[in-house]
Amino acid sequence: MFKLTTAAAEQVLKAAKQGNAEGMSLRLAASQKPDGAIEYRMGFEDSIGDDDIRFQSEGVDLVMSPEDVPLLDDAVMDYVELEPGKPHFIFMNPKDPTYEPPADA
């Protein structure tokens, strides 16, 4: 199942607090581009559908539609600083053809 790293979870919870979205779930979505790469989307949401998949990772409530599970299953979301002073979320997903595992993996 999809997982958050501790750093990603901390940033999601911080963003929820700053955006007055505490108590809302983080909705995750994905779609495959024509070249096979996966495009990721996320946002806070308080309306959950009956068919939605709900789960927790690192203390964050997550939700996704069943259609997104095949693309997001086994993926990990992290919050990293790839360039000094510019942290952002990244998705490490072995199903994405653009994914390159870390050198130490």
Give residue-wise pLDDT tens across range 6-40: 999 999 999 999 999 999 999 999 999 998 899 99
Is the pTM here over 0.95, yes or no?
no
The candidate with the shortest Cα–Cα distance to 64, out of 39, 38, 30, 31, is 30
Given the structure tokens 């939605």, which residue do they identify? Answer: 52
Pairwise CA distance, residues 101 & 93, whole Å: 9
The Cα-based distances of 12 to 21, 28, 32, 59, 78 in angstroms read 10, 12, 24, 10, 10
Q: How confident is the model at residue 103 (pLDDT cuts 50, 70, 90)?
A: low
pLDDT, position 1: 86
User: Could you tell me the domains of the chain?
Assistant: 3-92 (2.60.300.12)
Q: Could you tell me the CA-to-CA distances from 22 to 16, 45, 84 in Å, in that order? A: 5, 10, 29
Indicate the pLDDT class of residue 104, thresholds 50, 70 and 90.
Answer: low
